Amino acid sequence: MTRLLWFRRDLRLGDLPALLDAGADDAEVLACYVLDPRLTASAGPRREQFLYDSLRELRDALDGRLLVTRGRPDTRIPAVAKAVGATAVHISEEFTPFAQARDEKVAAALGDIPLEKSGSAYLVSPGRVTKDDGSPYKVFTPYFRRWRERGWRAPAKTGPKSARWIDPADVSGAGKNLDIPDPGTELPYPAGEKAARRRWKKFVDQGLEGYSADRNRPDLDATSRMSAYLHFGNIHPRTLAADLGTAEGPAAYLRELAFRDFYASVLAQWPRSAWWNFNSDFDAIEVDDDDESFTAWKEGRTGFPIVDAGMRQLSESGFMHNRVRMITASFLVKDLHLPWQWGAKWFLEQLLDGDIASNQHGWQWAAGCGTDAAPYFRVFNPDTQGKKFDPEQAYVRRWVPEFGTDEYPDPIVDHGAERAEALRRYNALS
């Protein structure tokens, strides 16, 4: 018996239910990854590098027995499955609109060969947390209560020895096994399963206890930096949850994992919300079309120190602290009056952890048009936020070295005036 294990956003061997099922009954398994041009074309250079480095580590962990091919999955996966004589293709289920459409086409192209879905990238997969009447949640707090009640499975016990792996060199007709590209892009931290587990252990040992108190401080190294590892599936959130207790720090961290599941569920249920207002009442809001202000925001030249620090951290490292993400997003939509979609697209292009569900719905929270939307009249004051969360200005000085000198620009807008203008526009919707 032979099966195909198609890796996607699950680039690891530990805690992988799809591997458990593929290797069952002593089956031989061919591990495969398809470089889809549609995805590599839309990924920024850092995400590409993270992907390729993760693939290299995965191939090494399999002693080279990973087939890497290029093309449309609905063409390549059936061809590889046929070449190896696979009786099934095993995958971790994905829920974005793109992934759902892709997998439907692959399943149709496979014909009689089943596409078996096992597990997902979430503690609780989209669609499994619902109200009593079966309808989906639109608000996080009641979702979170039901999510905790439902619970999740313990980590799956899998690893390199969970299957009898097939050497791609022994398979004819599967196509050339590609060399994994190495663009040479510098990453802020290493990719792969081993690096993910090392970083998580360090955070549990040194940062978890103080997470609740310090997680909003961008000047402190108080967050886990696990988001990119979760995005690429170098580690599963079950592995993280298994190390969380009931203290305040772990409870706050678990809540963030719940937000990740919630936004994935919202996108799966309302795929239109990827680029359109979840609350369609906001379709009528007045927005500006100012490329000059948008460029100043992207380049960190707004004259508002905490905003500029965040935007420069993003462009230089591919990461931005979550509190600063909220501040910079509020500034774009409520001080510059630009469409949230402009900012969301820029973040996706730049972020190493760019995730369509969390990114888009986080932006809509800031814009007031999403689920759990912040009250529209809440407009972050960037100066007040900076004083509160970067009190010694250590974060600002790290990313904006000219701050406090004549070289630093004056503010491009008057926050008080633009706050009033934002409120006028929001009030015009009612």
Q: Is 259 marked within a binding site?
A: yes
Decide if 332 contacts 342 (C-beta within 8 A): yes
Using the 8-state DSSP alphabet, how is residue 325 labeled?
H
Q: Is 426 marked within a binding site?
A: no
Return all residues near 24 (Cβ < 8 A) that are at least 6 apart: none
Residue 403: which of 304, 298, 315 has the closest Cα? 304
Compute the CA torsion angle 292, 298, 303, 306 (nearest 10 deg). Answer: 160
Q: Is 223 marked within a binding site?
A: yes
Q: Is 215 marked within a binding site?
A: no
Residue 332: which of 293, 371, 358, 377 has the closest Cα? 293
Residue 277 tokens read as 């207002």
Q: Is 262 marked within a binding site?
A: yes
Q: Is 94 marked within a binding site?
A: no
Instruction: Give dist(CA 400, CA 392) in Å, integer.
Output: 14
Q: How far apart, in Å, are the Cα atoms of 325 and each of 310, 332, 365?
A: 7, 11, 11
Instruction: Give dist(CA 226, CA 210) in Å, integer.
Output: 16
Return all residues near 246 (Cβ < 8 A) that are at least 6 apart: none
Q: Is 253 marked within a binding site?
A: yes
Q: Is 260 marked within a binding site?
A: yes
Q: Is 102 marked within a binding site?
A: no
Q: Is 261 marked within a binding site?
A: yes
Instruction: Give dist(CA 185, CA 265) in Å, integer.
Output: 33
Return all residues near 418 (Cβ < 8 A) that are at least 6 apart: 334, 335, 336, 337
Instruction: Give dist(CA 330, CA 390) in Å, integer.
Output: 17
Cα 349 to the center of its chain, rounded Å: 12
Q: Is 354 marked within a binding site?
A: yes
Q: State the burial class of residue 111 (Cβ atoms within 10 Å of its Cβ: 0-12, 13-18, 19+).
A: exposed
Q: Is 159 marked within a binding site?
A: no
Instruction: Give dist(CA 91, CA 39) in Å, integer.
Output: 18
Instruction: Give dist(CA 192, CA 12) in Å, integer.
Output: 7
Return all residues near 6 (Cβ < 8 A) that are at least 6 apart: 32, 33, 34, 73, 77, 89, 90, 91
Give strand pairing partners of 115. 89
Q: Is 221 marked within a binding site?
A: no
Decide if 168 contacts 66 (C-beta within 8 A): yes
- Binding site, residues? 211, 223-227, 253, 256-263, 353-355
- Binding site for FAD, residues? 211, 223-227, 253, 256-263, 353-355
